[in-house]
Each structure stands twice: as C-alpha cells, then as structure tokens.
C-alpha cells in the first residue's frame, strides 16, 4: 500500500509538472488503466492513450501555470485531495481556475483515478491582477 507521505509527494509533483507543462512527466504518474474525470460530470477518460491525448490537447495547447493553494490531504489507504489554482487564458482572457483534485493510487504508487472538481463558476480574474 502506498503511504500517505507518498500520496502527498506524488500529488505535489503532479502540480509541479502541470506548472512546467511536462506532459510526459504527468503521464508517467498514471497507471496503464487509469481513469480521469476532468471535470467531474464529463465522460470518463480511460487508459493512458486517451489520458495522454487529453493532456496534450488541453494543457499542451495552452500556456498555463499551476500552484497548490493548500496542503495535500492524504488518507492511509492510498487516496488524496488537494486544492490548486491554474492560471491560464479562457475565452481570450487571462484568468485563474480554482480546482480540487481527488486521486486514488494503486499499490505501485501510480494514479488509478483522478477526479477534478471545478466548473465555470470556479474561473475568475487572474489571481493577483
């Protein structure tokens, strides 16, 4: 079983990789049969090929930065949640998206499930602007 500290470290690393735009690094965090819901309510994205396409078409086509806005919360059974902010352009305007990601990990430490909780109501003026 993955430890709570490993959950925290991997989720923190995920935000660092999003900030860096490192799609290959992000994909390496996922298990081969992972499922992504981003945002929750959209059809699930299943498997590494589809997940990689999702990140390359979204994050890879945008100029974004990301930062944790609170601590990563981790359970003792391989799950975690974290609040973070993504600064980007939306509809041609600079803005900030405030999101909470919830992840489940396998015993190998890879992400099995990622659910991103956000909607347009969580998009606002660029933080600090």
Active site residue 33: no
Q: Report whether 56 contacts 23 (CB < 8 A).
A: yes
Show the beta-strand stretches assigned E in the chain: 30-37, 45-46, 65-68, 73-74, 79-90, 93-105, 111-117, 123-125
Question: How many other CB atoms are found less than 10 A from the CB of residue 86?
Answer: 24
Q: Which of 14, 30, 55, 101 is catalytic?
A: 14
Q: Which of 38, 55, 87, 101 is catalytic?
A: 38
Asked if the bond preceding 24 is cis, omega within 30° of 0, the reply is no
Q: What are phi and psi of 8, to 5 degrees?
A: -60, -45
Active site residue 14: yes
Which residue numbers are catalytic?
14, 38
């Amino acid at each position: 079983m993955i430890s709570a500290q490993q959950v925290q470290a991997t989720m923190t690393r995920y935000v660092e990789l999003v900030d860096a735009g490192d799609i290959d690094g992000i994909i390496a965090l996922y298990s081969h049969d992972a499922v992504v819901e981003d945002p929750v309510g959209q059809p699930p994205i299943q498997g590494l090929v589809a997940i990689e396409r999702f990140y390359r078409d979204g994050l890879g086509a945008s100029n974004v930065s990301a930062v944790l806005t609170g601590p990563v919360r981790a359970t003792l059974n391989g799950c975690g949640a974290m609040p973070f902010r993504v600064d980007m352009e939306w509809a041609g305007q600079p803005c900030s998206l405030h999101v909470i990601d919830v992840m489940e990990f396998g015993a190998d430490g890879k992400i099995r499930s990622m659910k991103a909780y956000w909607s347009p109501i969580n998009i606002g003026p660029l933080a600090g602007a």
